[in-house]
């Protein structure tokens, strides 16, 4: 694939079989008319759209209690405000590559920004639960293309030697949004209204639209037929899987007929999608994507990185609020330095990416991430915020060191004609990794809390109930309120142990991933030449 032989690689053969007229972009320094690109304006506008979309993955979470009261809904019903958005985005992400090739990347990008901005405003104006669920569904559909297309655009407007810096900028937007979302959402909800977590997207969307309208070039179009069966089966698989993960814990997993049905639908749809893809000449996802070993291995890594990154984000805020009594805004401020660590890591790696082997940088990043998770296994109920901040900064820095070289390696040997599809699939796996990771750690948290509660309660006997040192003199074990307070204390301790067990699991997973770096190939000069030839 990247050697010096004159024989064409399997990747090149598959690309040729796909036919001519691929949606190849213009050389990274000019547009279709040959004029010089306004790269800073394109980058700024793209990052505004990316941050706007990535913020929405977490900013609404903290506003759910206030929304529940306003809309007169139950907690189970409010879950659909999040689930509808996640499922719609997951289904539409794989379609991004075909839409951008068929109608042009700029047109799809601008329509997505308009749709996302408009539906955000409608979410803020919603007066009933069905309205906001519908508008969140439309918001997920319209915003799904923003992140994968932003990654593809940044690759194409920058020459190969600047891909590391471009991915550092893109990574900041993708990872910073989920970190800052709870802080911003808590502030807007507490000082203004939950509606402002949606209204804040409107000015950002207008700025992004105007900037890209004036500066972004259009790509050539690909007139391939749409593989409806491939898209339908993949969408059904992803949608059923998301429902399975989102509602599994609530319905006690396989003890529920609904969860069993969703699992079966997902597996059957995946089977039909794979059979169809291997037997059709031009399937929904191009086979050329999977002929590139670096791209395939990078997708495995981004899936596992999504597990660690988003599972930790899902665990720390509720731990601080439920077990340690932190207010929403304070818990957000304590976890925000993690985002600062990610930004610093990405800025540093942007300068290192061309000087050191990408695999070495990623190994260092994974090592730091594992070290931070080890620090988190020392969390306890009596600690102050120092360990939370320090471990968060180190973990953010480590993830920043992994994210940028991983994106660079994933697309460094992938021809530009395949980037629309490639970035869509890359981000789909990142989202699936986060969904599966969150579902697993939350399930383990619930079950381990129950197990540890039973174990701790076994050690509470009449012989130690009257020990002032044991109960700190604050609980009367001979009264019903005292027994209830004692139960809360045991539950609190059991939950903390369960959180620590989750952090241990993610630490082991992170360490286990490091040897897989040996399966990645270092970027070769030949790949750069091939990429430039494809773009020209």
CA 50, CA 148: separation in Å to the nearest integer?
9
CA 297, CA 406: separation in Å to the nearest integer?
10
CA 343, CA 499: separation in Å to the nearest integer?
26
pLDDT of the residue at 464: 61
- Are the C-beta atoms of 109 and 215 separated by less than 8 Å? no
Report the range out of 9-23, 62-76, 291-305 with the highest average pLDDT: 291-305
pLDDT of the residue at 268: 92
Mean pLDDT for 230-255 is 82
Report the range out of 113-117, 166-170, 527-531 with the highest average pLDDT: 113-117
pLDDT at 467 over 70: no
According to DSSP, residue 1 is labeled: -
Structure tokens at 268: 């059957």
Mean pLDDT for 467-484 is 62
Structure tokens at 46: 């793209």
pLDDT of the residue at 98: 78
pLDDT of the residue at 119: 93
Among candidates 315, 305, 374, which has minimal Cα distance to 499? Answer: 315
Mean pLDDT for 48-66 is 77
Confidence of residue 230 (pLDDT cuts 50, 70, 90): confident
Among candidates 236, 178, 231, which has minimal Cα distance to 61? Answer: 178
Domain boundaries along the sequence of the chain:
18-227, 230-281, 288-536
pLDDT at 17 over 80: no
Length of the chain (residues): 536
pLDDT of the residue at 16: 44
Among candidates 18, 59, 364, 16, which has minimal Cα distance to 204? Answer: 59
The residue that leads in pLDDT, 472 or 228, is 228
Superfamily of domain 288-536: MFS general substrate transporter like domains (1.20.1250.20)
Superfamily of domain 18-227: MFS general substrate transporter like domains (1.20.1250.20)
pLDDT of the residue at 507: 92
pLDDT at 144 over 80: yes
Strand partners, 30: 36
Between 30-44, 97-111, 399-413, 464-478, the lowest mean confidence (pLDDT) is in: 464-478
pLDDT of the residue at 521: 76
pLDDT of the residue at 336: 78
How distant, in Å, are the alpha carbons of 80, 149, 392 from that of 333? Answer: 27, 31, 12
pLDDT of the residue at 121: 92
Q: Which long-range contacts (CB under 8 A, 24 or more apart) does 159-162 make?
A: 159/28, 159/29, 160/412, 160/528, 160/531, 160/532, 161/354
Q: How do residues 294-311 score in pLDDT, each as one tens digit?
A: 888 888 888 888 787 777
pLDDT of the residue at 376: 92
Q: How do residues 354-383 score in pLDDT, each as one tens digit?
A: 778 888 888 999 999 999 999 999 998 888
Q: Where are the alpha helices (DSSP H) in 34-104?
A: 39-55, 64-71, 75-92, 96-103
pLDDT of the residue at 8: 42
pLDDT at 327 over 50: yes
Q: Name the one residue in this structure whose structure tokens are 């814990």.
A: 249
User: For the packed helices 419-457 and 228-247, what is the interaxial angle rounded to 10 degrees?
Assistant: 20
Mean pLDDT for 35-60 is 80
pLDDT of the residue at 106: 85
Between 59-63, 491-495, 501-505, the lowest mean confidence (pLDDT) is in: 59-63
CA 134, CA 152: separation in Å to the nearest integer?
29
Q: How do residues 155-168 score in pLDDT, each as one tens digit?
A: 778 787 777 777 77
Among candidates 104, 338, 375, which has minimal Cα distance to 218? Answer: 104
Mapped to the 3 state alphabet, what secondary structure does 281-348 carry? CCCCCCHHHHHCHHHHHHHHHHHHHHHHHHHHHHHHHHHHHHHCCCCHHHHHHHHHHHHHHHHHHHHH
CA 395, CA 345: separation in Å to the nearest integer?
10
Percent of the chain with pLDDT over 90: 10
Between 172-186, 228-242, 446-460, the lowest mean confidence (pLDDT) is in: 172-186
> Where is 498: in which H helix or E strand?
helix 480-513
Strand partners, 36: 30
Q: What average pLDDT is seen over the chain?
A: 78
CA 144, CA 241: separation in Å to the nearest integer?
17
3-state helix, strand, coil in the chain (%, to 5): 80, 0, 20
Q: How do residues 106-115 score in pLDDT, each as one tens digit?
A: 888 899 999 9
pLDDT of the residue at 463: 63
Classify residue 23 as left (phi > 0), alpha (psi -120 to 50) or beta: beta
pLDDT of the residue at 445: 87
Structure tokens at 243: 């429902």
Confidence of residue 526 (pLDDT cuts 50, 70, 90): very low
Confidence of residue 222 (pLDDT cuts 50, 70, 90): low
Among candidates 263, 293, 218, which has minimal Cα distance to 3? Answer: 293
pLDDT of the residue at 283: 79
Mean pLDDT for 409-423 is 77
pLDDT at 240 over 70: yes
Q: Name the one residue in this structure whose structure tokens are 């091939």.
A: 530
- Are the C-beta atoms of 169 and 153 separated by less than 8 Å? no
Q: Would you give the end-to-end CA distance of the chain in angstroms?
A: 20
């Amino acid at each position: 694939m990247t050697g010096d032989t004159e024989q064409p690689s399997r990747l090149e053969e598959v690309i040729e079989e796909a036919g001519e007229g691929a949606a190849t972009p213009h050389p990274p320094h000019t547009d279709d008319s040959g004029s010089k690109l306004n790269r800073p304006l394109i980058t700024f506008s793209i990052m505004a759209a990316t941050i706007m979309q990535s913020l929405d993955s977490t900013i609404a979470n903290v506003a759910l209690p206030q929304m529940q009261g306003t809309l007169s809904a139950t907690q189970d019903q409010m879950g659909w405000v999040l689930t509808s958005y996640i499922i719609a985005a997951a289904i539409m992400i794989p379609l991004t590559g075909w839409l951008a090739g068929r109608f042009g990347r700029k047109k799809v990008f601008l329509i997505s920004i308009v749709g996302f901005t408009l539906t955000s405003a409608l979410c803020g104006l919603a007066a009933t639960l069905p309205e906001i669920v519908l508008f969140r569904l439309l918001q997920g559909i319209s915003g799904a293309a923003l992140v994968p297309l932003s990654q593809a655009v940044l690759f194409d407007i920058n020459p190969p030697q600047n891909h590391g810096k471009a991915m550092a900028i893109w990574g900041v937007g993708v990872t910073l949004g989920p970190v800052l979302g709870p802080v911003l959402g808590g502030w807007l909800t507490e000082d203004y209204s939950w509606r402002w977590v949606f209204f804040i997207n409107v000015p950002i969307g207008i700025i992004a639209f105007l900037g890209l309208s004036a500066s972004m070039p259009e790509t050539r179009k690909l007139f391939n037929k749409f593989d409806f069966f491939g898209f339908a089966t993949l969408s059904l698989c992803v949608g059923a899987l998301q429902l399975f993960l989102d509602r599994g814990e609530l319905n006690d997993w396989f003890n529920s007929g609904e969860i069993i049905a969703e699992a079966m639908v997902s597996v059957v749809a995946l089977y039909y999608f794979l059979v169809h893809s291997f037997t059709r000449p031009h399937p929904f996802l191009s086979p050329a994507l999977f002929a590139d070993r670096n791209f395939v291995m990078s997708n495995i890594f981004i899936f596992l990185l999504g597990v660690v990154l988003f599972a930790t984000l899902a665990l720390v805020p509720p731990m601080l609020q439920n077990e340690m009594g932190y207010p929403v805004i304070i818990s957000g401020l304590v976890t925000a330095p993690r985002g600062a660590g990610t930004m610093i890591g990405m800025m540093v790696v942007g300068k290192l990416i061309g000087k050191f082997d990408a695999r070495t940088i990623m190994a260092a990043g994974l090592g730091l991430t594992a070290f931070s998770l080890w620090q988190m296994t020392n969390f306890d109920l009596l600690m102050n915020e120092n360990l939370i901040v320090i471990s968060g900064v180190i973990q953010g820095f480590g993830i920043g060191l992994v994210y940028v070289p991983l994106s660079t390696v994933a697309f460094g040997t992938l021809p530009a004609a395949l980037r629309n599809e490639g970035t869509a699939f890359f981000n789909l796996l990142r989202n699936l990794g986060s969904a599966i990771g969150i579902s697993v750690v939350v399930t383990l948290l619930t079950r381990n809390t129950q197990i540890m509660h039973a174990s701790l309660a076994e050690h509470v006997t009449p012989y130690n109930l009257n020990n002032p040192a044991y109960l700190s003199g604050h609980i009367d074990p001979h009264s019903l309120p005292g027994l209830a307070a004692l139960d809360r204390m045991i539950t609190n301790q059991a939950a903390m142990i369960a959180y620590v067990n989750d952090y241990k699991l993610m630490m082991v997973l992170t360490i286990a991933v490091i040897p897989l770096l040996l399966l990645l190939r270092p970027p070769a000069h030949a790949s750069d030449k091939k990429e430039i030839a494809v773009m020209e």
